[in-house]
Amino acid sequence: MKTDILIIGGGVIGLSMARYLGKLAKVTVIEKDYCGAHASGRNSGVIHAGIYYTPGSSKAKYSVLGNKMLTEFCKEKGVAYENIGKIIAPNSDEELPKIQDLYERSLKNGAPVKIIDYHEAKQIEPRIIQQQKYLWSPSTSIGDNKGVIKALKDECNSIGVNIIEGCKYAGSTEVPGAYMIKTSTNTILAGYVVNCAGLYADFVAKDFGVGLNYEILPFIGLYLYGKPGTEGFRTLVYPCPLGKNEFLGVHTTNNTKGIYMLGPTATPALWREQYSLKTFSLYETWRSLRRYALCITSSTRSFYIKLLKQEIRKYNKKNIVDDVSRIVTGIKLEDYKTWGPPAIFPQIVNSTTSELVGDFVVETTPRSLHFVNIVSPGWTSSLAFTKDMAERIDLSKL
């Protein structure tokens, strides 16, 4: 089989790339399971505004642009979407400087925000715990992540993109002017390869000689689902983030199906698809334990130790309820007893320093492009980020 461009991975990044490139060249997408089976179909559905990210970073730029583009996409395609906004609430007076820092960062990023007092916050969310001030984000929304995947897939099909599900990448060999890609079902000759493999993007990248300084450190995210009839929220309510904003803490989340959730956790995962024991991998578990050991003995060990202490306790549902009860009232353990489907986010670390890599990472060769680090706000940023990345590819060489 021959194609101009082969895209490995049928999540939101892979399908978005195919959406742009499929109008200009012959494009094939391979997905080892089904499109949206992993990170893209398991995220919270929150369309972020661009508050947390370092000014000038790719995350800052593309979350702001992506918020607008994904919102318009949902409206255009009839994908379920609600603009409900978000309040970031301090737990105490000691966290008030964080609100000011986030406000200033948001303005630099171009994200619309406002500092509000308790009276204003209570008008937006009556269950908010009283504090001196909060950060209000009017452009934060929620969307149907699976609906977005379906709409992208439908659009790709309409322009002739060849999407092959149940087809796993199994290796590459460089040949003159192309790559010979081995898969679980066939061999594909591709003039250009785009690696959107998500949880396995680092493995694929290394086959092409890039991403050598990075390794994915998987974290599992779990939500507690409210039972039917549980009193909900008018808006999203988040605490102030932990550390350098890598982890946003457990919070309230509405989804477009009317379910109210508390979470997510950010607990270290032992293997990359730790959805159930059916996917257990001894090799990946060994690698993860080794990497976590290196992290907690590195120069940044204090952050990892604090994170581990904070996250492991969240296996107890009561602790999640208690944490969210610090920012909103009326949360009852008996209303939140069911774990939702687990999600894994593929955070990468620097292999040498064990530091978390805070920004998106894309690496290239003359005939390949690799999305090595795409974590939150990857879903929000997807349409804007992939548009720019697609325009980097010199199609005249295909």
Average pLDDT of the residues in 43-72: 96
Task: Note the pLDDT tens digit of each residue in 197-229.
Answer: 999 999 999 999 999 999 998 999 999 999 998
Residue with tokens 């300084």: 213
Q: How confident is the model at residue 398 (pLDDT cuts 50, 70, 90)?
A: confident
pLDDT surpassing 70 at residue 248: yes
- Amino acid type, 364: T
**DSSP for 224-263, written as a single string:** EEEPTT----SSEEEEPPBTTTTB--SEEEE-TTS-EEEE
pLDDT score for 59: 96
Share of the chain above pLDDT 70, in %: 99
* Assigned CATH class of 2-397: alpha beta
Residue 176 has pLDDT above 80, yes or no: yes
Report whether pLDDT(67) > 70: yes
Predicted confidence band at 244 (pLDDT cuts at 50, 70, 90)? low
Q: What is the pLDDT of residue 246?
A: 57
Contact assessment for residue 30 and residue 164, using Cβ atoms and an 8 Å cutoff? yes
Phi and psi dihedrals of 190, rounded to 5?
A: -125, 130
**Comparing 25 with 375, which gets the higher pLDDT?**
25
Report domain extents, the chain.
2-397
List phi, psi (to 5°) of 78.
75, 25
Mean pLDDT value across residues 332-351: 92
Copy the structure tokens of residue 284: 């990946």
In this predicted structure, the answer to whether residue 247 has a pLDDT above a threshold of 80 is no
pLDDT band, residue 316 (cuts 50/70/90): very high
Q: What percent of the chain has pLDDT over 90?
A: 86
- pLDDT for the residue 373: 94
256-269 per-position pLDDT tens digit: 999 999 999 888 89
pLDDT (tens digit per residue) in 275-305: 989 999 999 999 999 999 999 998 888 888 8
pLDDT over 60 (residue 245): no
Range of lowest pLDDT (245-254, 283-292, 363-372): 245-254
pTM above 0.85, yes or no: yes
Spatial contact of 262 and 321, defined as CB atoms under 8 Å apart: yes
Please, what is the Cα angle at 105 between 103 and 110, to 5 degrees? 95
pLDDT band at 24 (very low <50, low <70, confident <90, very high): very high
For the chain, the average pLDDT equals 94
Query: Residue 179: which residues within 8 A CB-CB, separation 6 or more?
Result: 6, 172, 173, 189, 190, 193, 367, 368
Question: Alpha helices, DSSP H only, in the chain?
Answer: 12-21, 39-42, 58-77, 96-109, 118-124, 145-158, 201-207, 282-296, 301-312, 317-324, 378-392
pLDDT average, residue stretch 182-202: 97
